[in-house]
Structure 1
Amino acid sequence: MTQAEPVVDPAVAGKPAPFDELVGQAPAVAQLTAALERPVPAYLFVGHTGWGTRRAADLFAGELLAGRDPDGVKRHRSLAAAENHPAIAVVERTGAAISVEEARSIARRAELAPPEGTHQVLVLVDFHLVRSAAPALLKTIEEPPSSTTFVVLAEEVTPELVTIASRCLRVDFRPIPTDDLMRTVVAEGYAPEAVAAAARAAGGDLERVRALLSDDAASTRWQRWAQLLNRVDGTAAVASGLSTELIADLDAAGEALAAGHAQQLEAFDAAEDEGQRGQAGRRKRLEDRHKREARRLRNDALRAGMAALADEARAAVSTPTASTIANYERVGDSLAALELALVHNAREDLALLALVMALGEGATG
């Protein structure tokens, strides 16, 4: 599993890779730095986004390209860090899982010539959600064109991902230690007491700590999910009320994004009025991208809530009793059922109502 040419040019081999901003990930950083010396066609970064996997992918992709172009190192690094490099494509799902058509589109993209230079990097996000689409990509990842490198991101290696994982060099990320979280976020200007509370709730996730500290609404949404077991009573009326709250939270999570989209469309229309129309259909593509982003944000907000509920049940079972064990099992079964419903495009309101009703079954006995 080697590439035809070295990624690290001798002219830049002695320069340190810019991975210092990856908090609490010394083993992964060491592995990434070593990987630049001996490239392979595909890499798999395993761990939550808030542990640094996506940021690591951005930086690593920049290093892969910088090593091939010593005169353009600064440009490659800065564009990659901003996810704005023409030869780096960050591919994200549009629905609850990665579809077969999305996988085929990735395979087609890998066969194209790089948009710039002689090499391109495809960063594939959320591949723990690849499911039935995995076979459509296996051959491409196993034997990609020499001009393409894959960086696959996954929160975990699911059964569907095992075969793809076996074709990749795996880099594991870990929950960020509390001391590292504290040091990093306090340095950003937050009060130590608030940071300590957020760090305890965040499960080693830097993004979640920052969201808890900067978005009161996000904290409220997570707490509503985390407290579901304490609020259900087995009745349909309470379940209906709770599921309605969860839907309202998902609606609220997208309000800021919708406002930003409206501003982008206004700017586009203003440019058209000034004669900067560009190619036909560009506004439609912008609207389609906005729809994909809105769906993805809603799915991610839902998954963040599911994670908060699972974390709460997991924390409770650390002091095992018959009740906490039963709750933990019920939460696991209920979340698995919700996940399956989402994959099969069930109505969101009905799927959430079913979840809350299932959580309340233990309260009736």
Structure 2
Amino acid sequence: MREDLLSLEQYSVPDIASVEKRLGRPVVKLDANENPYGASPRVAEALSNCCLERYPDPDWNELRCLVGDYLKVDPVGVIFSAGGDEMLDLLGRLFLEANDEVIDCPPSFVMYPAVAAFHRARYVSVLRDGEFRIDVAAVEAAVTNKTKLIFVCSPNNPTGNPTPEKDIRQLLATDRMVILDEAYAEFAGYTQVHLTESYPNLIVLRTMSKWGGLAGIRLGYAVAHPEVRREMARIKSPYNVGIAAQVAGAASLRDRATLDANAQKIIRERELLSERLCKIPGGRVHPSQANFLYWTTEGASALAWRDALFERGVLVRSFSEPIEALRITVGTPQESDLLVEAMEDVSAAHIA
């Protein structure tokens, strides 16, 4: 076994079942940026007619055409994966060799350093500024002849703020591959996927987990230059996206009105919840264009906050680096009520 991988911290979640048994009710799960309104109702019907005894289309032709229509891009440049994590692994396979470098701007998505580790690349961290904006000049200064990938999440996970197009263009001018992760684009109301037409060194990542409510299906996709897309397809597993995922994705993309309406509910609740969190002592909520909010804990242990909230039946995500903070998924109004009640209780008890 590889010693460098054995030392990696495994992703884990607390024991939800024991807390639910003690409380006598379900835990309010606001830790994974899931969509509380779920999938399009057309998905269940489509899955009931799914032909499971046959292998799926290895080239996802129907899905590519639907995404092409949705994003107004050439379907030739669209590639699908079993969730965003597989797409990140494909990028590592295609671009990284041992001792290459990957630039990331934390706080950011936890899988970016993992991609570097899995492929024996060097992870280069360029911290964001006090408002969690990318320091583009610092990224440019960090680029070396070994730099292969620059990761940008916009809106950023976990902070929720976007990266302006002018900054993306400046990073693209380094001539390194820029991986623009737009997993939360539908909650921001914009995309920069149009830049793929002008920049062959740009790959835009998207997912059906958040807007589409299909986190359990595992369906991600990317838009890239056709030559890059062709090489990515060459190194994937033959049938990497199962028939259920393809059927669910197609049904979802044919019911965009429902998904957009659900996204608008989340956006409205995000703004209402942000106002409520501003009134709770012990932290600061930051502006977000995603389906979650970032709440820095003024130096107190974010893990202590998380554990105290979990004991009260609300599960959120905690971070200790590079700053103590909670990431709180925007749920339903009823879930927001339970969250705020628990946070007010923790704050008043001075547990954090």
Do the two structures share a fold, i.e. TM-score over 0.5? Answer: no
TM-score (norm 2): 0.32
Relative to its length, the structure with more helix (as a share) is 1
TM-score computed with the length of structure 1 as normaliser: 0.31
Give the structure with the higher percent strand: 2
